[in-house]
A and B are shown apart, each in its own frame.
Chain A
Amino acid sequence: MIMSRVITFGEIMLRLAPNGYYRFFQNDQMQATFGGGEANVAVSLANYGLDSAYVTKLPAHAIGQAAVDSLRYFGVDTSRIVRGGDRVGIYYLEKGASQRGSVCIYDRAHSAIQEAQPDDFDWDQILDGADWFHFTGITPALGPNVVEICKDACQAAKAHGVKISCDLNYRGKLWTRAEARAAMTELCRYVDVCISNEEDAKDVFGIEAEDTDITGGKLNKEGYKSVAKQLMDQFGFEKVAITLRTSISASDNDWAGMLYDGKDFCFSKEYHLRIVDRVGGGDSFGGGLIYALLNGKSTQDAIEFAVAASALKHSIEGDFNRVTVAEVEKLSGGDGSGRVQR
């Protein structure tokens, strides 16, 4: 079998987090890892054995190199990363527990990718031979220049017959709803597979589920079907995936997903999660979904795989989902016992 080639594009940041559950600067140690929506997807896919390449712009200095190293470790192809600019974006993460939510402080303004220009990237060359292109709504949120770069990438992907997936991922700290709607309306014209949750659909496109109550702790299946259908009707997506998170506390979430292929609405089973690290949870869903769809899984099997992959991610420290296909399939196949495997 020929290995599918996936290109993801976005920003990778240095993540600085106090040890364990310390509050910011309660002690002087900061755990240093790297992460970012599309980079996390690239790592997931490399771990599943795909030919996975990540595209961004990073400074030539040691911190930029450390970011590259973190991806190469998993076998992500970093040869398309453009080097230049001054800054690696940073995000500070204070992990919440129980009723204390996690806190994220962004220090990402003026990063190399935010200041990148369209002519930094030759998309015809980058996407040549690729099967899939993935980005998220975080990338165009970096600025109008990056919206342009995303548009260039999408147009080249279309020209090369490359499938495009996008996770709407609205970040209110980066842009306004109006800005997001304008840019994402433009970009979603090119997208084949849309990933969203209820809040993103509302924040970006004003699409609301009828009769849902996110704090009520109960899934309203009809509401999610309505969101998926509205998204598909508006943009002509081939598939729409919705993640369904019920936040009981910072430590306990319920987690499920739904995939709509224009015909069937397939809901996954629901997992009760005891959270180790939820950052990158949505990205691991995206990674699982892309893998499943590239491998011809049925709509039901694809959503089961994506949700199981993501459930496992919530048990893993750091942004990256360090799991194999076999581990995901074991869980999606029914073994959620968490017993020691010998």
Chain B
Amino acid sequence: MVHSNPLLRGESPQKFITIGEIMLRLTPPNYDKIRVATSFEASYGGSEANIALALANLGIDSTFFSVVPNNSLGKSAVRMLRSNDVHCTPMILSSPQDTPTHRLGTYYLETGYGIRPSKVTYDRKHSAITEYDFSRVDLDALLEGFDWLHMSGITPALSPSCRTLTLDCLRAARAKGMTISFDGNFRSALWSWEEARDFCTQCLPYVDVLLGIEPYHLWRDADDPGKGDWKDGLPLQPSYEQQDEIFQVFLERYPNLKCIARHVRYVHSGSENSLMAYMWYQGHTFASKLFTFHILDRVGGGDAFASGLIYAMMCGYRPMDIVNFAVASSVIKHTIHGDGNITDDVESIRNLMNMNCDIKR
């Protein structure tokens, strides 16, 4: 079926696909604590789904692949994505025979306010994607016709079968010559730091565009881990020189990397943050502007950075514009309720990216 969005003009520069878990998100309204909530706002989210949704809103031909139970919960997740113009054609609506627990992963989000941080309680164990047998899926056929694959370190954290799926997808995409982006997205509730580093490091040789610099091993001496990791001691808000040094070590070890980007967050309070980013691309490390903003909903902020970066690269922006667009995309997301960056005019992000949003002192 030919797909077109009459709201958006122009051709999608590339066909994008991402693979991951979509969850039901339950949020008490009005910054309520879960203990006093008498209702929840129901929405859907998940890192990869958020990126698929954001790119589709920007006019990219965007496809999401996942497994959800074939019930009202799973079907509603598909409907939400479709309403945002994400292709869900390959999605699997599983039967209880396929996925015995037959559940859609869920997470509760208690939205923070001021100094009270937001709190996520995962209820995603035994979800359909963790129980599905992916040996039944022809990944080669799934990825056929796409230019860009995005995956994250959340999927392999879900289950051993999802670990296999992640590596198999990366391999298949590499064999096809697709562009591959990967966001490490460490989730301590799902696996340990060591497990995450061990696994995600295995993914690095397949990656073109790396988002975030953890969780990966970057041993100073591969034969003697006792000598530490190059990233040891790197501050949360590194200087240009500190960041550039780490990027160079990544590039030396993994010459396949074409771009490395990471955002840097300055937390003034739960309600006010600043963001900037560093990006190595085409031989140089670039530092974006610093944006300071009030937060309505910060979940999905990192995903909006990724989707902004992917969009700008697909459209052939200049490097400084790529990194500024990525940060501006994330900043706008922080002002939007829900996981997804529902921003369907590129100009609003470009306007922000061209503004001077440094902290005024």
State the A residues within 8 Å of B (CB).
Answer: 16, 24-25, 28-33, 61-63, 65-66, 69, 86-88, 90, 92, 94, 103, 105, 107, 109-110
Chain B residues in 8 Å Cβ range of A63:
34, 108, 121, 123
- Tell yes or no: B125 within 8 A of A by CB: yes
- Tell yes or no: B126 within 8 A of A by CB: yes
Q: How far is the CB of B40 from chain A (nearest CB, A)?
A: 5
**24 A-B contacts, Cβ less than 8 Å apart?**
A25-B42, A25-B72, A25-B73, A28-B42, A28-B43, A29-B40, A30-B26, A30-B41, A32-B26, A32-B39, A61-B121, A63-B34, A63-B108, A63-B121, A65-B35, A66-B35, A66-B36, A103-B72, A107-B73, A107-B103, A109-B101, A109-B126, A110-B101, A110-B126
Q: Is the interface of B mostly helix, strand, loop or mixed?
A: mixed
Question: Contacts A16-B40, A28-B42, A105-B71 known; A62 to B125 CB distance under 8 Å?
Answer: no
A107 near B33 (CB under 8 angstroms)? no
Contact of B41 among A28, A33, A110 (CB under 8 A): A28
Chain A residues in 8 Å Cβ range of B73:
24-25, 92, 105, 107
Contact of A62 among B34, B43, B102 (CB under 8 A): B34
Q: How far is the CB of B113 from chain A (nearest CB, A)?
A: 16
CA distance A61 to B123 in the complex (A): 11
CA distance A29 to B121 in the complex (A): 19
A87 near B125 (CB under 8 angstroms)? yes
Nearest chain B residue, comparing its CB with the CB of A33: B38
Chain A residues in 8 Å Cβ range of B71:
105
User: Size of chain B's interface in residues, with CB distance under 8 A?
Assistant: 29
Question: Contacts A109-B101, A109-B126 known; A62 to B33 CB distance under 8 Å?
Answer: yes
Given known contacts A62-B35, A107-B104, A110-B126, what 12 new A-B pairs fall within 8 Å (CB)?
A28-B41, A28-B43, A29-B42, A31-B39, A32-B38, A62-B33, A63-B34, A66-B37, A69-B35, A87-B125, A109-B102, A109-B103
CA distance A62 to B72 in the complex (A): 26
CA distance A29 to B106 in the complex (A): 15
Chain A residues in 8 Å Cβ range of B121:
61-63
- Tell yes or no: B187 within 8 A of A by CB: no
A32 near B42 (CB under 8 angstroms)? no
Contact with A along B118-135 (1 / 0, CB 8 A): 010101011000000000
CA distance A114 to B38 in the complex (A): 25
Chain A residues in 8 Å Cβ range of B72:
24-25, 92, 94, 103, 105
Chain B residues in 8 Å Cβ range of A33:
38
Nearest chain A residue, comparing its CB with the CB of B126: A110
A62 near B101 (CB under 8 angstroms)? no
The total of interchain contacts (Cβ-Cβ below 8 angstroms) comes to 75
Across chains A and B, which 9 residue pairs bring their CB atoms closest together, nearest first? A25-B76, A62-B34, A24-B72, A109-B101, A30-B40, A30-B42, A66-B35, A28-B42, A31-B39
Chain A residues in 8 Å Cβ range of B42:
16, 25, 28-30
Question: Contacts A63-B121, A110-B101, A110-B125 known; A24 to B76 CB distance under 8 Å?
Answer: yes
CA distance A88 to B34 in the complex (A): 13
Q: How far is the CB of B227 from chain A (nearest CB, A)?
A: 39
B34 near A90 (CB under 8 angstroms)? no
Chain B residues in 8 Å Cβ range of A65:
34-35
B126 near A30 (CB under 8 angstroms)? no
CA distance A32 to B35 in the complex (A): 11
CA distance A62 to B111 in the complex (A): 13
Chain A residues in 8 Å Cβ range of B103:
107, 109
Q: How far is the CB of B296 from chain A (nearest CB, A)?
A: 16
Question: Contacts A92-B72, A105-B71 known; A62 to B39 CB distance under 8 Å?
Answer: no
Chain B residues in 8 Å Cβ range of A32:
26, 37-40
- Tell yes or no: B116 within 8 A of A by CB: no
CA distance A101 to B43 in the complex (A): 25
- Tell yes or no: B79 within 8 A of A by CB: yes
- Tell yes or no: B48 within 8 A of A by CB: no
B125 near A30 (CB under 8 angstroms)? no
Query: Which of B21-74 touch A at CB < 8 Å?
Result: 26, 33-43, 71-73
Nearest chain A residue, comparing its CB with the CB of B35: A66
CA distance A92 to B76 in the complex (A): 13
Nearest chain B residue, comparing its CB with the CB of A23: B72
A62 near B110 (CB under 8 angstroms)? yes
Nearest chain A residue, comparing its CB with the CB of B41: A28
B125 near A86 (CB under 8 angstroms)? yes
Chain B residues in 8 Å Cβ range of A87:
123, 125
Chain A residues in 8 Å Cβ range of B79:
25
CA distance A61 to B35 in the complex (A): 10
CA distance A33 to B101 in the complex (A): 23
Q: How far is the CB of B162 from chain A (nearest CB, A)?
A: 17
CA distance A63 to B40 in the complex (A): 12
B76 near A29 (CB under 8 angstroms)? no
